[in-house]
Structure 1
């Protein structure tokens, strides 16, 4: 059994962990290429026990309550061609979260988070495409000893842009996320984060997300299922 704790800094909704960061923390603790499905809001500042229940499956509990499940996954999705940094910067000026945001303190996309605290990834529509894009320069505090962005923050960055690409403005929560990391960008490197819709089935919305480095090479790809809340 492996144990992790999601620090309060990494919230999505005010009282639970950001879905991307939390699924990433679980995946990294497992140490295998997995997709992580969230069953309950991820508790903050509480121990989460991760247990292998089969060769290719894991459960995560907190205080005896099932929080998430994980299973081996192989992300084959290829992202659309990326927007340029300038295009992403222009798109971010039209981020709908600046006007109305369900969770303005979200670690990833919350406009209330200051630089150096939140990731401040603000995706907006790119004219002439079916995708959203945002510029992102990962803060040095997110880096490992080699100066590369730590994987849990890659998972986090691949979370919220998928919501805005497929669900917004309807309220929804992350149901499942799988990530393929091809290489880690450097801290302070000007990256572009993109999101696009893959499909909709009832209240389930599937989205793709990707991170591109300063040379336009794909660093990582995420495939997520978002669950639209009942109204």
Structure 2
């Protein structure tokens, strides 16, 4: 498997959600959790190798562990739906439009013209919300990506960049090309450099298409 350059997150590495969605394929059906052990390299052949305790490891050509993949028990969505009007209003105030730690991010980067362009803004209740105009060719990995950054932006603040460390996702359906879906996010807890967040993807009629729980890690200052 290869993370193509267009699916960039932080400069020089793959977007965490997209990469996790690609890696999740090795675990089969059902809820899957992916732990990123190092930034997923771009344009690099990666290999799935049997790991400990039922996990599958993703190795780079030097044998370093990029990620661990395992099936997990199902879990309920933690973030409720938001209507399109409120989602569009939130996105208009997306802080990443003026201050983004990784403006070229495939999911939420305003400087990535070919990305998903999901711009999650904050609602008064602390949740994030954003509309998502679904492109052609959506796969499970696309939904993993869409569920990634809206959770992160529930905790990211000025001068406080975070990156994805772990994400578990439950998928119930793929969005239809051309639909305006809504993605929501919520920070559940923060402890030191770790933030526990949740996210959910809803179809235009409010149908839940997928949801995730994730751990984001604050980058060291400086």
Residues 67-106 of structure 1 aligned to structure 2 (within 5 Å): 67-106=66-105
Whether contact under 8 Å (1:121, 1:157) holds in the other structure is yes
Report how far residue 109 of structure 1 moved: 0.3
Aligned match for 2:2, one of 1, 5, 18: 5
Whether the 8 Å CA contact 1:75–1:223 is kept in 2: the answer is: no
SS at match of 1:21: helix
Instruction: Point out where structure 2 has 5 or more consecutive residues left out of the alignment.
Output: none
- In 1, Cα distance between equivalents of 2:32 and 2:20: 10
1:54 Cα deviation (Å)?
4.9
Residue matched to 1:190: 180
- CA shift, 1:60, in A, is 0.7
TM-score norm. by structure 1 comes to 0.90
Take 1:50 and 1:153, find their aligned partners in 2: how far apart are those partners? 20
**Superposed, which structure 2 residues align to 1:172-211 within 5 Å?**
172-211=162-201
Give CA-to-partner distance per residue, 1:121-144, whole Å, 9 cap, x none: 0000123x221100001112xx2x
- Match for residue 146 of structure 1? none
Q: Which residue of 2 aligns with 1:43?
A: 41
Q: Please, what TM-score do these two structures have when normalized by structure 2?
A: 0.94
Partner of 1:138: 134
Cα distance in 1 for partners of 2:105, 2:209 equals 23
- Segments of 4+ moved more than 4 angstroms: none
Distance apart, 1:55 and its partner CA: 6.7
The separation in 2 between residues aligned to 1:165 and 1:13, in whole angstroms, is 18
Higher mean displacement: 194-203 or 164-173? 164-173
Q: CA RMSD in A?
A: 1.3
Task: Confirm or deny: 8 A CA contact 2:79 2:185 kept in the other structure.
Answer: no
Gaps of 5+ in 1: 144-148
| Partners of 2:73 and 2:187 in 1: CA distance | 19
Tell me the residue number matched to 1:214: 204
Displacement after TM superposition at 1:167 (Å): 3.0
Aligned 1:107-186 pairs, distance under 5 A: 107-114=106-113, 117-127=114-124, 129-140=125-136, 143=137, 149-169=138-158, 170-186=160-176
1:201 and 1:136, CA in 2 relative to 1: closer, same or farther beyond 3 A? Answer: same
Q: Does the C-alpha gap of structure 1 residues 179 and 29 become closer, same or farther in structure 2, counting only changes over 3 Å?
A: same
Number of equivalent positions: 218
